[in-house]
Amino acid sequence: MSRSSPSRLVFLFLMCAAVAAAAPAAPAALPSVVVLATGGTIAGAAASDVQAGYKSGQVGVDQLLAAVPQAQKLARLKGEQIANIGSQDMNDDVWMKLAKRVNELTAQSDVDGVVITHGTDTIEETAYFLNLVVKSKKPVVLTAAMRPSTALSADGPLNFFNAVAVAADKDAAGRGVLVVVNDWIHGAASLTKTSTTAVQTFLSPLSGLIGTVAYGTTEFYRGPVGRNTDKSEFAGGPAGPMPRVDIIMAHENMDGALIDAAVAAGAKGLVIAGVGNGNMTQAALDALAAQAKKGIVCVRSSRVTTGNIGRSVEVDDDKYGFVASLEHNPQKARVLLRLALTRTKDLKEIQRMFEEY
Ligand code: ASP
């Protein structure tokens, strides 16, 4: 029996290595992403592909998944229908159901990420609420569409595909709740809807984008603004029922009638969508200060789309007993104030929350 020479052994070893390198690698298991559908225009339908009128929330989650088979190449997908409503009808019941389900799913070791389909009207509120109550670093990505699924050039399918790509990407973890629309990745705290009808409606005006996603290829630029998800003191869900908080818009010749009416209707907190830097008429300021004295927590925000509402710039917040909303627009200020009021009525504590979240 001849013995192999050392050079023959090296040759055999190199041959084996070359064959192993040429063989197609076993496909790595795809990440597992659960899709929670809530309705919106992304699930909307019209009678024709070129008409403006349509109904939100007509298409179920299975139809939605079937319409974008390309997404199955990015992740193993499972769908659940949480609701099927236009997001103008979004409410606390759906929010609680959604928060509970996202917290359950993200705690499972066999789930890598969650995509939530939603209407564009209130997506920024739902995203921000989840950003505060989800207790996980795993990607949670909301997406939506401006055109119904039946429209010519519907934007939903690509938005959905891109949202799945972001939810399946490990690099999306730890960036808070994200919103993916029209190739852009927004942080929940920073985005806002800026056009009633344009496909390019969402902007993150003050702090900019978290990243971009082009046909499933993601690029991340930075982390989110503010404390969120696993670092949030609200993580796991609200401590109790969230109290009523109303938003009142300031305008020329404003009086205190709506401020008083909101409190009479049961509001425990008020957010003023002020003019400019959270300003309002002296009559409104006096009515608001009177409610603040009675223990209603009053936050000054602005009806202007972008900018910081600074503490005691034109209005002396210390004197009146107000909270300044800082970077929070009225709708986000309302979400944070409702959660804050489940913990405390202390104005310093609530101002701290506005600084941190
Ligand atoms: N009204 C719709 C909704 O928010 C609008 C949309 O989804 O674009 O459900």
Return the H-helix or E-strand segment holding 35.
strand 32-39
pLDDT of residue 247: 99
Instruction: State whether the beta carbon of 40 lies less than 6 angstroms from ligand 1.
Output: yes
Residue 55 DSSP SS3: strand
Give tens-digit pLDDT for 309-338.
999 999 999 999 999 999 999 999 999 999
pLDDT band at 18 (very low <50, low <70, confident <90, very high): very low
Mean pLDDT, rounded, of the chain: 92
The reply to whether ligand 1 has any atom less than 6 angstroms from the CB of 126 is no
Return the DSSP state at 45: B
Active site residue 41: yes
pTM of the model: 0.91
pLDDT at residue 93 in the model:
97
- Do the beta carbons of residue 171 and residue 138 sit within 8 Å? no
How many angstroms does the Cα of residue 130 sit away from the middle of ligand 1? 18
Query: pLDDT per residue over 151-177, tens digit each?
Result: 999 999 999 999 999 999 999 999 999
Any atom of ligand 1 within 6 Å of the Cβ of 146: yes
Helix (H) or strand (E) holding 352: helix 347-356
Ligand 1 atom closest to the Cα of residue 123 is 4
Residue 48: pLDDT band (50, 70, 90) is: confident
Identify whether the C-beta of residue 187 lies closer than 8 Å to the C-beta of residue 178: yes
Which residue among 41, 124, 160 has the greatest number of ligand 1 atoms within 8 angstroms of its CB, and so is best to mutate? 41
* Å from CA of 28 to ligand 1 middle: 37
Question: Ligand 1 centre and the CA of 208: distance in Å?
Answer: 23
Mean pLDDT, residues 256-271 taken together: 98
